[in-house]
Structure 1
């Protein structure tokens, strides 16, 4: 992303260019929607849709993620409250991505708790995702993760296997959920090493009393392997594409 677009992102929220979408997360045992991951979308007035892979890293490096991040949290919990008012969505969770910059803020627990209380949502219904490739060894970020865990929030290590210190983070930090990176899921059909890694990651996570989510499930063969391996939850185009809150509500029967 060039400097001009990085600067534009600072004003994207005020200009109404940001919107949330939600990708369903399904139980592999019965296919029921257990939750949804909230994802930020940016439609630039001049350039059209800008991919998250372009603007998220830059927004984190420049520190411009704070206001959009807080807005996404509010949008996610507002939608979750609406889903939970329906019978089908009563036990749902919503997953929200947090950057290291957000985690490093001293008021991160108060911020999350305030939005939860405003909507009457239990802490365990908010899953906070932290990418495994992020610099989690930053003291302030580690302190933020520990504080959120102590406050009852569920913490997910996102993109497990894509970085270089996965096991160190699993050992040191209070993660509840392991999200297996899509690069391993895509290789399940013809890569024996990917199959071995995924199967062993599921066993390891369960031994650590963690829930396992597979990302990027796009084929029935992948879904079947993951179910056989004992994976708990999954998301991907096979199981549901990102959609508006209203669209997902209709799928839930609300």
Structure 2
């Protein structure tokens, strides 16, 4: 093995060790226990190593989030039916709730506004998955609101549900709260199947909006204009006002 490969292997091993140590500290002692000094000491390395490998403590926490979430997913069998985008949306919701309840301290860090957590790599990746699932629902004509609004509603409801449950003693938690919240959000963003008459124009506009960026016969300006028209049409259907 060359010196470069040896150095790369050693770097990866050190990185993995730091992530494991930080995850254990969070699990056992909470978020306050995670400092660069504490992690470095527990891992048997110098503190500058963390900055060299992760950039800063937030970079380390992002890596911990990705690691713990990957381990959580690996231990679960996701009931995700690719033939039904709404089923996939529900599977994602259940995964989000389960992960949050199983990793309370880490979930609090992920959603801490003081950390600018909304722009973290882990958070960005999670939102991208949610957007893709919502896009699939829109593409089959089941979405009555714009995709962005649907994503924001699901994110707000999911995060709020987990934080509300975590604020209670475990024995006092309502086991049906997450299901009730999901059903409430779905009633506000989905059309019936098949779509009711009053839902059809909005659902059609949202569905068509998903394919506008892929229409090669239109110029970029025309695609932008059509997207704007469809967004206005959807908004007017929701408000009851003419576009």
Alignment TM-score, normalising by the size of structure 2 = 0.29
**More strand as a share of residues:** 1
- Which is higher, the Rg of structure 1 or of structure 2? 2
TM-score normalised over the length of structure 1 = 0.28
Q: Which has the higher helix share?
A: 2
